[in-house]
Structure 1
Amino acid sequence: MDWQWFTLTLNQAFTWTLYNSLEASLLVLLILLCQQLGKKHFSIRWHHAVWFLLLWKLAVPWSIDSSISLYNWLPPSPWTSMQEVPPPTEPIVLAAEALHLHESALQPDASLANEASFSWISLLSLIWIGGVAIFAITMTRSTYQLLSQLKSDGFVQDEAVLRVFSHCQKQMGISKSIPLRMSHQMTSPALMGIWQPQIWLPANLLDKLNEHELRHIFLHELAHWKRRDIPVNSIMSVLLILNWFNPLLWYAASRMRQDQEMACDALALTYLQETEVPRYGYTMIKMLELYADAKQIHFTAGFSSSKKQVKRRIEMIRHFQKRAYTWTLSGIVVVLALGVFTLTDAKKVLGNEQTFVVPAEGTIKSPMDQTIGLQILNDLNTPVQAAATGKVLKAEYDTKTGKGNQVILEHAGGYQTVYSHLEKLEVTAGTTVTQGQLIGLLGSTGRSTGPHLAFQVLENGIPVDPMKLLENSKTQQ
């Protein structure tokens, strides 16, 4: 039972993560499109801040329904049905497969239970959680190794350098004590630490830069702290671990870091005189020459970047104006619009909800196991009617799952109903039936211990509790 609970929970988590990741991919494409169209109209700060919509989308599992949500155009998410019932061991397209999986506990055949346990969705879920574990261990190990190597490195003692750093802190209104440290492990200046921030400088960097260049670096790193970029980068790293299978999100994270560096440049430049702005660009070029192989480290925020990104940053510096770090009305409107369209869920159309009736007279019982469905007990040949108007997808004897004579109906709203162990079939596949129409007779065909009807309702391929949909019915225990 513990393994079954673990499998169900894992499948549920994977299903939601997969669907949410696909929705987030659409958001990424929209953000990139807006950035391209608004390159000359939106501020540098906006280009980075808009990525917070992606963080919200990936991190928050629930949101309000909206009739104008972008996802109204997408196929319904199976997560909607899974929120109120135990998750399935397989995202099911055919109702017959759903019945096989979710009633497998009623079948004494061990091979069928094993088949359900090793369904393809379960396999994908195991691959996903295995990838999460590998990425988490790798990232944790690399961070731990770096911290271990940096532990013995010393603090900057040069009074002239500390004076410049202290002046930068006062200029930016930062009163928190942030130590300066030197290390042979660092290939670029970087801010590290959420609660105890420290700025790390590559060894011998102080001998290669003058006072003005050091000031530029300090302003940039302090801008990272002032903007709280370390917590943001840490959250994004964790979200990437959970969505490791989505290459578009890895690209989005890279673009987010690039925009973050430019936003820090813009903030740092607001503390410089207009005549000093070009020197900031020269400092960036010099750092590229000194540390051409600078590596990006998780849970840090640095100064240097790749040649391609430096070119982009230099271009921004050339045209920099003080307002480049301020919000514009158009930028606020675009962010709000993106939030409304992409941070909301698809809304079900009110007034068109599918209604069902009890398909047969008799004693209604819930299965003794965790199967999602109902058992209706009555005499042999009791009439079985369609629970709702729909089309007959299947009407034949099921030889694979032991369900005997079986009818599967497809209804509006993404619903399917399944009727198993019938004594006789009264409909054929492809025909349309109305609610209450006779579709078969209650029986005991297939693997059955007595006359009864095994009844299930599926929403978007996921079994749901029929008692929440059936009119005027009560479960009798």
Structure 2
Amino acid sequence: MDWQWLTLTLNQAFKWTLYNSIEASLLVILILLCQQLGKNHFPIRWHYAVWFLLLWKLAIPWSLDSSISLYNWLPASPWTSMQEAPPPTEPIVLGTGVLNPHDSALQPDIPLANDASFSWISLLSLIWISGVIIFAITMTLSTYRLLSQLKNDAFIQNEAILRVFSQCQKQMGITKSIPLRTSHRMTSPALMGIWRPQIWLPANLLDKLDEHELRHIFLHELAHWKRRDIPVNSIMSALLILNWFNPLLWYAASCMRKDQEMACDALALTYLQETEVPRYGYTMIKMLELYACPKQIRFTAGFSSSKKQVKRRIEMIRHFKKRAYTWTVSGIVVVLALGVFTLTDAKKVLGNEVTFTVPAEGEMRSATDHAGLSIINTLNTPVKAAGSGKVVTAEYDTKTGKGNQVILEHEGGYQTVYSHLEKLEVTAGATVTQGQLIGLLGSSGRSTGPHLAFQVLENGIPVDPMKHLEDVKTQ
């Protein structure tokens, strides 16, 4: 396997994950803000469903560009354009010219702006993938260990209990066979399994609950199955592994699980008579007394929760109306608005894209990483400004061997760099127009022949000049 290709792929995966995680953090803040503002206005179901926007944002790597995307306000991602460049495996052909990575005459022209950042980006990428591997192994082993411990637990055979459970299934319209099991290792009732779901109950629970309380437990766990919460929790756990470095996403996942429990309560309550609703709340309080410190297990859906969460759920039950599990127009509007503004990618407003013209005549050769051009021609060929802007630098570069060099600053965070010039025709601080003479093509600095080394930088990062050269794009 090509080690260079592997390193490049890993770096790009890390950069995308990092920037996507930053965008997702902004979405988390908006969701929490909307939940707080709409606490008494949006239904219980809405508070949980809005988290699916976060799942979509983290799980889907592609989204439409939009000028109204909220992320247009974020600093531009410096690696977006770099991700589009394929790994340098073959020479790039433009017209009749070929730039080979081993061509010593042109090798100095390949942009080295990323060299300084290469080491720390690679280091961070290795730390990230190491964390992903560690978290993946840890979660897999813990899940496997738990399932191994539970596989020999007994199935419930008590006919009275099975009758209550069957009645709950029938009432909720669930026809799938879901076995009931007991375990000394469980600290609260829990539903486990995506394709072969099973409900585990603490071994001593059956002796401490009456028939009505068991019914509440069963309705809650079956609500998890009916709402497909196990697959959702599994997806969220996998996404947390990829974004293990972001504490805000871990907090969001915790809030999502709490809202999930509330939504399950709301669904379970819709199957109870109005007079029975308060008794459901008493069941929760009793569960908290029996299992004060329930252990939350990933890839499962449980019943009990912390005292603070139970207090919140009791408050919801006190004011519960069956419409609390229905959608409202305002809730739908807010979800759609959040989706439009946060599930789209940043895009520059149409008409503000910066384009440039080819700065000099000659044979064009592209660097293998698409981050620069070499334009080969005779000595003293005119070199013109690729776009209007301000001269940032116009001097001989003694540090990198680029010789006489001109750097122009353009609007939109762009810069163009012209290196190995024979002569400079502008000075720093001057303003130039597109097509204005700024120097003569040469071979100054570390160079073995007359040519112009041309770069386009976006926010200080080299990008593919071919995508910004107007006269090339229209050919």
TM-score by length of 1: 0.90
SS of structure 1 residue aligned to 2:470: coil
1:372 aligns with 2:371: yes
**1:86 and 1:414, CA in 2 relative to 1: closer, same or farther beyond 3 A?**
farther
Structure 1: gaps of 5 or more residues: 89-102
SS of structure 1 residue aligned to 2:28: helix
Tell me which amino acid in the other structure corresponds to 1:279. R
Q: Please, which moves more after superposition, 413-422 or 276-285?
A: 413-422
SS of structure 1 residue aligned to 2:408: strand
Distance 1:106 1:292 in 2: 71
How far off is 1:331 after superposition?
A: 1.0
Distance 1:105 1:127 in 2: 37
Aligned to 2:384: 385
SS of structure 2 residue aligned to 1:413: coil
Distance 2:244 2:64 in 1: 26
Aligned to 1:94: none
Q: Please, which moves more after superposition, 411-420 or 48-57?
A: 411-420
1:121 aligns with 2:141: no
Distance 2:419 2:441 in 1: 9
Per-residue CA distance 1:231-273 (angstroms, 9 max, x = gap): 1111111111111111111111111100000000011011111
- 1:193-232 correspondence to structure 2 within 5 Å: 193-232=193-232
Aligned to 2:73: 73
- 1:386-465 correspondence to structure 2 within 5 Å: 386-465=385-464
1:288 aligns with 2:288: yes
Distance 1:311 1:419 in 2: 67
- 1:63-142 correspondence to structure 2 within 5 Å: 63-78=63-78, 80-82=80-82, 84-86=84-86, 118-142=118-142
Distance 2:104 2:84 in 1: 21
Aligned to 1:35: 35
Per-residue CA distance 1:59-86 (angstroms, 9 max, x = gap): 1122223332222222223354245324
- Structure 1 contact 384–441 (Cα < 8 Å) conserved: yes
**1:231 and 1:272, CA in 2 relative to 1: closer, same or farther beyond 3 A?**
same
- Structure 1 contact 178–199 (Cα < 8 Å) conserved: yes
How far off is 1:105 after superposition?
A: 12
SS of structure 1 residue aligned to 2:77: coil
Tell me which amino acid in the other structure corresponds to 1:15. K
Aligned to 2:95: none
Q: Please, which moves more after superposition, 220-229 or 37-46?
A: 37-46
Aligned to 1:298: 298
1:278 aligns with 2:261: no
How far off is 1:118 after superposition?
A: 4.6
Distance 2:113 2:390 in 1: 30
How far off is 1:139 after superposition?
A: 1.1
- 1:300-379 correspondence to structure 2 within 5 Å: 300-367=300-367, 369-370=368-369, 372-379=371-378
Per-residue CA distance 1:152-178 (angstroms, 9 max, x = gap): 212111111111111110010000001
Distance 1:142 1:421 in 2: 60
SS of structure 1 residue aligned to 2:181: strand
How far off is 1:117 after superposition?
A: 8.0
Q: Please, which moves more after superposition, 297-306 or 341-350?
A: 341-350
Q: Please, which moves more after superposition, 418-427 or 236-245?
A: 418-427
How far off is 1:352 after superposition?
A: 2.7
- Structure 1 contact 104–113 (Cα < 8 Å) conserved: no
- Structure 2 contact 106–447 (Cα < 8 Å) conserved: no
How far off is 1:107 after superposition?
A: 5.4
Per-residue CA distance 1:42-75 (angstroms, 9 max, x = gap): 1111110111111111111222233322222222
Please tell me the root mean square deviation across aligned C-alpha atoms, in Å: 2.5
**1:27 and 1:266, CA in 2 relative to 1: closer, same or farther beyond 3 A?**
same
- Structure 1 contact 11–87 (Cα < 8 Å) conserved: no
Tell me which amino acid in the other structure corresponds to 2:463. V
Aligned to 1:92: none
Q: Please, which moves more after superposition, 352-361 or 298-307?
A: 352-361
Aligned to 1:185: 185
Per-residue CA distance 1:418-469 (angstroms, 9 max, x = gap): 2122223333333222112222222222322211111122234443322232
- The sequence identity of aligned pairs, in percent, is 87
Tell me which amino acid in the other structure corresponds to 1:70. L
Structure 2: gaps of 5 or more residues: 89-102
Aligned to 2:49: 49
- Structure 1 contact 65–347 (Cα < 8 Å) conserved: yes
1:245 aligns with 2:245: yes
- Structure 1 contact 418–456 (Cα < 8 Å) conserved: yes
How far off is 1:183 after superposition?
A: 1.5
Q: Please, which moves more after superposition, 257-266 or 75-84?
A: 75-84
Tell me which amino acid in the other structure corresponds to 2:265. D
Report the number of matched residues. 457
How far off is 1:115 after superposition?
A: 5.5
**1:145 and 1:401, CA in 2 relative to 1: closer, same or farther beyond 3 A?**
farther
Distance 2:87 2:20 in 1: 16
Aligned to 2:17: 17
TM-score by length of 2: 0.90
Query: After TM superposition, which residue ranges in structure 1, 4 or more long, deviate above 6 angstroms?
Result: 103-106
Distance 1:294 1:104 in 2: 67
Per-residue CA distance 1:64-115 (angstroms, 9 max, x = gap): 2333222222222335424532489xxxxxxxxxxxxxx999658xxx8996
